[in-house]
Structure 1
């Protein structure tokens, strides 16, 4: 049956509304993953949160009505695009520090909240009292914990060793990940394949490696985990050092993912001569205020942003710096306020920058 002219206008209107609603649906498909390390006042401040502030974090999560889910469940929902309810979070800890056993796990277990411990077996098997032992990990195993992989040795994985070929690098990293998974499962039984990049450093080559090995990947760049991010480089909000401030927690818990559907470049690793990176983004139109989108670097400097709005297609954003970034870890971070609520849309691109001679920096 042929439609009348009025009928065609009606049908086109429905299709336009449906297309416009897609970004809102995808934006709702997100969860916030929190990343902790030490929970102590006697450990390096940049990698730590105090026990008092950690307890305050849990009280805020509880008071605001957030659901704490196991990380594997969230990842499964994202992979299958199963609808996630709003206000879902996961709690994770890197490196299985003893302070987590002493000061964090009792508070989580009292609430019966699940959490994930990322383990490097070399840490656990060392003589240093900084880390939990296999016996301690076994003790907490039946109490809502997931054990996950961080390579046998916690190290800078994107870097080639002296005279190392890309093929030799690939085999070395794959062996470290497989060996670590085997050690974890020998002591703690079968565990899901989830990998946290040491120091938050990753590259397209490393992402490809863990994908082929069957792993999800999580970094340390900030933002909600969503369908707009790769399942091999999902963001986590760091809860260490200055990032652990109690006053800023709520804004991160309520964060929404900026709907980035295309990004150039993909790699966060710069060469020794590249000091002024730029990023091109395509954003699905949606609830965010494009003209209020602002971007900053890791030192809080305002970045140069060019925006182009297209009402029927994706908007375009160019982000760049007019000054040289220093060797080390850095990032570009963009935020845009919601049109409909007090929430904020987040996006972050980390940078891993060697010096002008190609030499890598030490620990961040």
Structure 2
């Protein structure tokens, strides 16, 4: 049987060789290539260059990466070990600014070190290994639970639209926004799925369409500026998107163009749901205005996907990687503990109370 993208782990730990294993997403969909990364510089580059991407996958990669950075450190001093760990953590944290899962995962790993300074280095290394493995396995459970809650909101045969890639390629399994699609496929729901191309890096075309087609789903690829047309024709019953960070008031940062989809969906009376693990909720930021937005290089817009340059030399280019969708355009934010609705800050606090008690 021919191997598909679904046969490969998006991000994993190779225990035998001490390596972070990722699918190089810059090579998709033409080639499925696994990268075995052992050096922290290569792991940093993989995150920065989007070889591994998607908020959940970035968090898992960072957790494994920071563990590998200190796994073979030869010292009996916890003070020396802690300083080396902090340096590796800060370095990996500098790779991308917007996805809060990156910092959440690294903070979880750091808490292992700071909480066990009285222990031996060997024991702390084992605890770090266990935490990295736990972060990865938890991601699978969280995405499936998000999918179960999201699936309750739609009927068999529904038309669904998604933007960018919040799929299995952005997580370990299921994805966030695609989790209801995968679960629906398992249960014979027969969804009709519309996938935005997602310019300029085409994560919808290269990644989401690729993985959902491999799963046997009914997928139609559209350009970003076609979303209004398919909504007006009545082809879309609900929109599911992921996100990289959620502010306390429910504003969400997701791939550039999400706010446009949200505004158009609101106009046509179509619900838009943001699928967000609680790890992406940043209660320290009151509104989306405070979310740092990554800006990327000009050539992603002017020439990356073209045989010849498609814009005049010297033209100014604005290339933000994300935009912020106002909470007023969002019908609900689906977490692994259920759906939050406005007022979001109050709903999030209730969700975190439930999470703390479990």
TM-score, normalised to structure 2, is 0.29
| The structure with more radius of gyration | 1
Higher helix share: 2
Higher strand share: 1
TM-score, normalised to structure 1, is 0.28
